[in-house]
Structure formats: C-alpha cells, structure tokens
C-alpha cells in the first residue's frame, strides 16, 4: 500500500505529510506526496511560498523546494524509526 498525501505547501498539508510519514514508518509503507504546480502561474507559486515576491516563475526552483520538503519529511520519518526503509516520493 502507498499513502497518498496532497501537498500544496500549506500548514495543513505539511501536518498531513508529517502524519502520513508517521503512519508510513509504523506500517512500513511508502508515502507519495502529490503537488499540482500550475505551469507559469507565478501568483499561485508565490501564494504557496514557492517563489519570492520579486522572482519570476521557475519550475525547477519550485520542484527543488518540494524536494527539500520531501527530504525533511523523510528525515523526520527516519528519526522515528531509524531502521525503516520506506520511501517518500514527490510527484
């Protein structure tokens, strides 16, 4: 089984990702965080904290930020269960 978590960068989404990583660690399941990134929509990206107010939309930068969130969640889950080998994917 894979735990699927919608992720938009909000506090609620971050809490859901943390909770999913906890469950994934306990049940040794993968976690899949799904984010929708509207192509070229800098207002949406700014609203979600993915780019600064003075920055142009850059998909690579947005994906890089989401990858850092993935690493943070993975580190959190490994801290709960250092022997766990489940995977957190960002798509």
For the stretch 8-57, pLDDT in tens is 878 898 889 889 888 888 898 888 888 888 888 888 888 888 888 888 88
Q: How many domains is the chain built from? A: 1
Question: Which band of pLDDT confidence, cut at 50, 70 and 90, is reported for residue 4?
Answer: very high
Give the range of the structural domain holding residue 62, as residue numbers without chain letter.
2-90
Rounded to the nearest 10 degrees, the angle between the axes of helix 59-80 and helix 11-27 is 40
Say if residues 3 and 24 touch (Cβ distance below 8 Å): yes
35-50 CB burial, b ≥16 within 10 A, e <16 = bebeeeebebbeebeb
Q: Is 83 helix (H, G, I), strand (E, B) or coil?
A: coil
pLDDT at 76 over 70: no
pTM exceeds 0.75 for this model: no
Both tokens assigned to 90: 């960002």
Say if residues 5 and 69 touch (Cβ distance below 8 Å): no
Can you give the pLDDT at residue 78?
Answer: 63
């Amino acid at each position: 089984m894979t735990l699927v978590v919608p992720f938009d960068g909000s506090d609620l989404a971050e809490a859901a990702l943390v909770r999913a990583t906890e469950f994934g660690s306990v049940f040794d399941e993968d976690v899949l965080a799904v984010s929708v990134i509207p192509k070229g929509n800098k207002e949406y990206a700014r609203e979600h904290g993915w780019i600064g107010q003075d920055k142009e939309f850059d998909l690579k930068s947005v994906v890089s930020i989401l990858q850092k969130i993935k690493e943070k969640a993975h580190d959190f889950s490994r801290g709960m269960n250092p022997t766990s080998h489940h995977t957190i994917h960002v798509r």
